[in-house]
Amino acid sequence: MAKYSHKDHNTDDSKKGMIDLSKLDTSFGEDNEPQDEKLMTLLKQAYQKKIYCRKAIINLDLIEPFSDYQPKITAEYRAYFLKKYLDTKPPELFVYQDPKSDKFIMSDDYSAYYMYKEVQAITAICVIIGEYKDNQDVTAGEKYYLDLPVIEIRE
């Protein structure tokens, strides 16, 4: 639940009843996925066409989650993932390469990452944001600019 106290309330009579939204804590509980600021910066640059991306098939051993966060995977998501996986169109993981370890950091779709692990996949379909070092365990396509995302509605 959002933390709020009366001292955060604006006392200006013309704005009585208004809450300063910047003072609300929206991190509700321990189930929150941590935000990866580097990924956010890279995505912004990619959408602004300042850096390139590549579709790639990456050995799962080269992909590390940004944090130890583990989501609760619902039966509906599990069925969705398995259908896409069996149709050879599983969700893509957005990753960037850590220049120190050469590992690919994933922080955008923990549910998909852990489902790849659950089905014991050897590789994952990814979008590499920015530059990366060539590696024999990565099969990458041509560079392209990232388009704004299309919202997919699951039924």
Half-sphere exposure of 68 (CA within 13 A, CB side): 1
- Structure tokens, 100: 């120190």
Q: What is the DSSP code string of 19-78?
A: B-GGG-----STTPPPP-HHHHHHHHHHHTTSS-EEEEEEEGGGEEESSS------HHHH
> Are 36 and 113 a contacting pair, CB within 8 Å?
no
Q: How confident is the model at residue 44 (pLDDT cuts 50, 70, 90)?
A: very high
Which one, of 20, 117, 115, lies nearest residue 59 by Cα?
117
Q: What is the pLDDT of residues 76-113, one digit of tens each?
A: 999 999 999 999 999 999 999 999 999 999 998 999 99
| Mean pLDDT for the stretch of residues 33-56 | 94
Q: Which domains does the chain have, with CATH numbers?
A: 37-140 (3.90.1530.10)
> Are 97 and 103 a contacting pair, CB within 8 Å?
yes
Pairing of strands 104-106, 93-97: antiparallel
The predicted model scores a pTM of 0.74
